[in-house]
């Protein structure tokens, strides 16, 4: 009996030792390595504890901290700058600190910029891309390119890319899309589904749920005075539908409650119907998409050079629009 007890105690000690050694100290602002091997072509490696000491580590960790707690550093009451108009964080749209497959990941963003963007009809840098997010979803102003904060953002994105650049394919990276439905997205059905699946976190009036201390959000607003602006990527029904389908409800892995593709489209149509759910509007119609023919199929702001209405561009059905443009390109 004593022998069994001794052996059992030894096994327990070994388990404790192994578990203890794999934990990361919280006060070091690090997170454990995370891998997703469900697809052999996709591995996300993400371990801040592996960054060597020095100035580069400090910038990477600061960039990650800015990403997670944007409102604390850059929000209306920011401790560094007051440049955003709401209290949202980058992580609200780019889930798991920009690394979640299908959650608007930014793992490859450092490698994809500079790139041509049709919305601005010019070559954008990674710094431009950061400012785009600060301006429209966060209702803010630009960061200076040479600021410590912009350098930290850029270093963070470079680091998560450097950790994964040997992977042939990053699972859930762009484009984050759903197949077009055959019908128009129905915002009235979407209202019913929103109230069923989404309102418990984002509120019946889309106001979100504030953090316990009253500053920042536990769950972000999806419309209203502090929601993302018209012209944001999420303001496209197709873009938002893909995000909802792949990521919402937020706790679906626990509750096993999920939405269908059609429900995702309908919910997106309801959220983005500013007639019933107003949101900030910077009136950028004349500055975005200088080459009108380059507008995305579901871009909701006219004018257009085809014969389809603004309502169809916004809510669908989208297939006829795609087929029209495919015919023009032959």
CATH code, 223? 1.10.760.10
Distance from C-alpha of 283 to C-alpha of 301, rounded to nearest angstrom: 10
Residues 117 and 195 in one domain: no
- Which of 67-81, 96-110, 198-212 has the lowest average pLDDT? 96-110
**What are 127-186's pLDDT values in tens digits?**
999 999 999 999 999 999 999 999 999 999 999 998 887 765 666 676 667 999 999 999
Tell which residue, 224, 225, 184, 222, has the closest CA to residue 310.
184
d(CA 46, CA 232): 28
Tell the residue number behind the tokens 């500053």, with chain if given.
215
Question: What pTM value is reported for the model?
Answer: 0.82
pLDDT, tens only, 248-295: 888 877 777 789 999 999 999 999 999 999 999 988 877 789 999 999
In 10 A of CB 204, how many CB atoms?
A: 10
Q: Torsions phi, psi of 124, nearest 5?
A: -105, 145
Domain count within the chain: 2
pLDDT, tens only, 47-87: 888 888 999 999 999 999 999 999 999 999 999 999 999 99
Residues 141 and 237 in one domain: no
Do residues 259 and 157 share a domain?
no
Residue 8 covered by a domain: no
| Predicted local confidence at residue 103, as pLDDT | 84
Range of the domain at 88: 28-39+46-162
Is 197 inside any structural domain?
Answer: yes
User: What are the backbone angles phi and psi of residue 281, rounded to the nearest 5°?
Assistant: -135, 115
For the stretch 16-41, pLDDT in tens is 333 333 333 333 333 333 333 344 34
Strands 115-117, 122-124: pairing is antiparallel
């Amino acid at each position: 009996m004593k022998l069994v007890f001794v052996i059992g105690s030894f096994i327990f000690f070994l388990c404790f030792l192994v578990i203890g050694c794999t934990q990361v100290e919280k006060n070091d602002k690090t997170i454990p390595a995370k891998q997703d091997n469900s697809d052999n072509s996709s591995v996300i490696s993400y371990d801040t504890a592996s960054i060597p000491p020095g100035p580069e580590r400090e910038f990477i960790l600061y960039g990650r901290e800015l990403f997670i707690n944007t409102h604390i550093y850059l929000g209306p009451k920011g401790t560094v700058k007051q440049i955003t108009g709401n209290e949202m964080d980058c992580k609200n749209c780019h889930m798991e600190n920009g690394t979640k497959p299908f959650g608007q990941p930014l793992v490859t963003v450092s490698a994809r910029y500079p790139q041509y963007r049709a919305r601005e009809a010019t070559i954008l840098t990674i710094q431009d891309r950061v400012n785009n997010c600060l301006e429209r979803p966060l209702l803010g102003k630009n960061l200076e390119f040479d600021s410590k904060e912009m350098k930290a953002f850029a270093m963070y994105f470079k680091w998560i890319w450097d950790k994964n650049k040997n992977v042939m394919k990053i699972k859930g990276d762009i484009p984050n899309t759903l197949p077009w439905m055959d019908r128009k997205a129905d915002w009235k059905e979407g209202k019913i589904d929103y109230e069923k699946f989404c309102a418990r976190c984002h509120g019946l009036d889309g106001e979100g749920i504030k953090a316990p201390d009253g500053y920042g959000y536990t769950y972000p607003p999806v419309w209203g005075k502090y929601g993302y602006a018209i012209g944001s990527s999420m303001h496209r029904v197709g873009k938002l539908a893909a995000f909802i389908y792949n990521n919402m409800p937020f706790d679906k892995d626990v509750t096993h409650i999920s939405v269908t593709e059609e429900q995702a489209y309908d919910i997106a149509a309801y959220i983005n119907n500013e007639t019933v759910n107003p949101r900030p509007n910077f009136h950028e119609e004349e500055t975005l998409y200088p080459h009108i023919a380059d507008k995305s199929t579901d871009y909701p702001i006219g004018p257009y050079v085809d014969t389809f209405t603004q309502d169809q561009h916004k809510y669908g059905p989208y297939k006829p629009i795609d087929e029209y443009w495919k015919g023009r390109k032959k």
